[in-house]
Chain A
């Protein structure tokens, strides 16, 4: 069987014109000027490892984008990226890249500890910035990025790609339509079974290559994995957590790493809903699941599936009730083979988005970024979601580190 054809952009925009209410950051995609090919947007990439390369490949498919510069302090990655981006200037230091003043926008895919410095420097030199999530590892750095953005008037977008997943938007629509009732709980886990290490040819490069394992460079699984699920939880609930707590540690990959290989965190929201999230690096059976739960049903966000609590009514009975109400006497197509309680559907649910050929969220987030740069559009709701999720990650790590319940008020942000 052949792979489904990806939705064309026209298909997508037609189908998701309802998206704007739940995700106003889609708006730049819907503007007619979005694909104008007047002045090319010159983009530089800082950090061209696995994620950065993926962003590079997506950027190269966007009309009117020129990847003008690539930067990495790890030469194999830089060589590889330069090979992919023909004509791009190579840099080993982002400051040199910025000093050259040859790019309009900077895409940052470096370890989170460096996000604030690079982003702020870029915005101060007049660049718009797309920075991978999370914003930063401290509240001070997150706030600094917000402050510099405000001072410079540049665009700052953080790469939480789930905010661009049509399935999640459809889930919000379903929640707002009352299909699961009020949200009482969010349950998420991200389980994998590997040591999260990359091969290191020179021991001196260990921290540089395996930055995810070191606390001064990375927020560990809560920042790298749970962050995606925290941002969607905040988005769907329409609020940020009021307090959080959790546990975590290293109980399997005892190889000298500093970040957790297992963590379980809990967030309480002002409306009373909880998010419980587990990250695990020692078993992959449960994979990645994000459930939104209410008294009338639940939704698995990552799969776009809806599971009603009650058995759906027979369509013929629905017709009969309608006919009786309207005083109609007509044949009801009710009789037939036994309708069996759908164990299959209990297992697989029903899909919220009819067409499974949904666009890549990473592609969409980059297109939105490029178009917002081109049209000089700010997306405050998008940045606010990213900021709140990044703060929640910092506070959750603090709760685990200090073994206590941490209130949102500690972020010093509304």
Chain B
């Protein structure tokens, strides 16, 4: 998944810990093999290659994930969208060279025609999906780590691990059980390793944190700095200085919400529909809280 995975399991016998970690690593690798659009043989690659021409039948895991994403799309007023990839490509956020100049409004509109989960045609009878517009693409990049964390949580609980912290590249964190010294784990949110000033602290226990911001993946075009999240509704990237962090009981929802909150004008209205809390930090480090119930 292009990042590192840390699993901290205090007070676990080392051999057992190694076995649990191996199970986790295997599951993460399996999921990546299915969900990565960079893998030629992944399920996502197959969908992207075939769903424009004909319905692609999904297995239970893929059907569950895609329909869940569609539901999150609706509940976030369209701000979370797994079909946003063509816009990310237009802006050069997918490894291609960034454009020399800002894409024109006409270019953005043209690409936006190929974006939107409402343009996916689901057939519940055959558990199949089809693109209603040519050139659509699916990318689970904004939610894949959340799904992996949910699977990791199952492995941890089935392995009898009562207390653990799982960190997927700092942006996706899962905490299982209490801190070894009791109570929630205090997890700070900061802009980067290089700037570790804590801007907000979450009290986490049996919850997931997802953070999103441009510090590590921003780009500059024509002198303007853009964050790597593109609003699927407008086709325009966010301010690179904005950092969003969400605490939720569901890791997948935390992922979807951290992306959605980055582009939403009224985050509180959306967060109200979830068992989640959020903070947004602007480029001047001013923190706005949404539904935060407990501050450490």
A residues sitting closer than 8 Å to B (CB atoms) are 311, 313-317, 320-321, 324, 327, 329-341
Contacts and interface: CB of A to CB of B under 8 A. Distances in A.
Nearest to A341: B2
Given A314-B167, A333-B198, A339 B187 contact: no
B6 interface: yes
Tell me what chain B mostly uses at the interface: helix, strand, loop, or mixed.
loop
Nearest to A317: B6
Contact of B216 (A317, A320, A321, A337): A337
Given A313-B6, A314-B193, A324-B180, A337 B214 contact: yes
B192 A336 contact: yes
B3 interface: yes
B2 A337 contact: no
A339 B186 contact: no
Given A336-B191, A338-B169, A329 B181 contact: yes
A338 B179 contact: no
13 contacts: A314-B170, A315-B196, A327-B181, A329-B183, A331-B296, A332-B187, A335-B173, A335-B202, A337-B215, A338-B3, A338-B170, A338-B216, A340-B169
Contacts of B190: 333, 335-336
Contact of B171 (A316, A336, A341): A336
A336 B4 contact: no
A315 B179 CA distance: 19
A335 B186 contact: no
Interface in B134-176: 165, 167, 169-173
Given A314-B4, A320-B8, A321-B8, A334 B213 contact: no
Nearest to A329: B181
B202 A329 contact: no
B173 A340 contact: no
Nearest to A313: B6
B252 to A, nearest CB: 16
Contacts of B214: 337
Which of A313, A316, A336 lies at the interface centre, i.e. has the most chain B CB atoms within 10 A of its CB?
A336
Contacts of A320: 8, 165
Given A336-B243, A336-B245, A338-B217, 4 more contacts: A333-B198, A338-B172, A338-B216, A339-B4
Interface in B1-50: 2-4, 6, 8, 10
A337 B4 CA distance: 13
A224 B3 CA distance: 44
B217 A332 contact: no
B77 to A, nearest CB: 24
A325 to B, nearest CB: 9
Nearest to B244: A337
Nearest to A339: B169
Contacts of B3: 338-341
B198 A337 contact: no
Contact of A324 (B8, B193, B197): B8
B188 interface: yes
Contacts of A327: 181
Interface in B180-234: 180-183, 185-193, 196-198, 201-202, 209, 211-217
Nearest to A335: B189
Given A333-B196, A335-B173, A317 B167 contact: yes
B238 to A, nearest CB: 12
B112 to A, nearest CB: 25
Contacts of A316: 170, 188, 193, 196
A319 to B, nearest CB: 9
Contacts of A336: 170-171, 189-193, 211, 213, 215, 243, 245
Contacts of A311: 4
B181 A337 contact: no
Contact of A334 (B2, B10, B170, B215): B170
B170 A339 contact: yes
Contact of A335 (B4, B188, B216): B188
Contacts of A313: 4, 6
Nearest to B165: A320
Which 6 interchain pairs have the tightest Cβ spacing? A338-B171, A333-B188, A335-B189, A339-B169, A331-B186, A333-B196
Contacts of B201: 331
Contacts of A331: 186-188, 198, 201, 296
A317 B173 CA distance: 12
Contacts of A314: 4, 6, 167, 170, 193
B246 to A, nearest CB: 10
Contacts of B245: 335-336
A337 B244 CA distance: 9
A334 to B, nearest CB: 5
Contacts of A332: 185-188
Nearest to B95: A343
A297 B134 CA distance: 46
- Max chain A C-beta neighbours (<10 A), residue from B169, B172, B215: B169
Contacts of B170: 314, 316, 334-339
A165 B196 CA distance: 35
A335 B209 contact: yes
Contacts of A321: 8
Of B4, B172, B202, most buried by chain A (CB within 10 Å of CB) is: B4
B187 A334 contact: yes
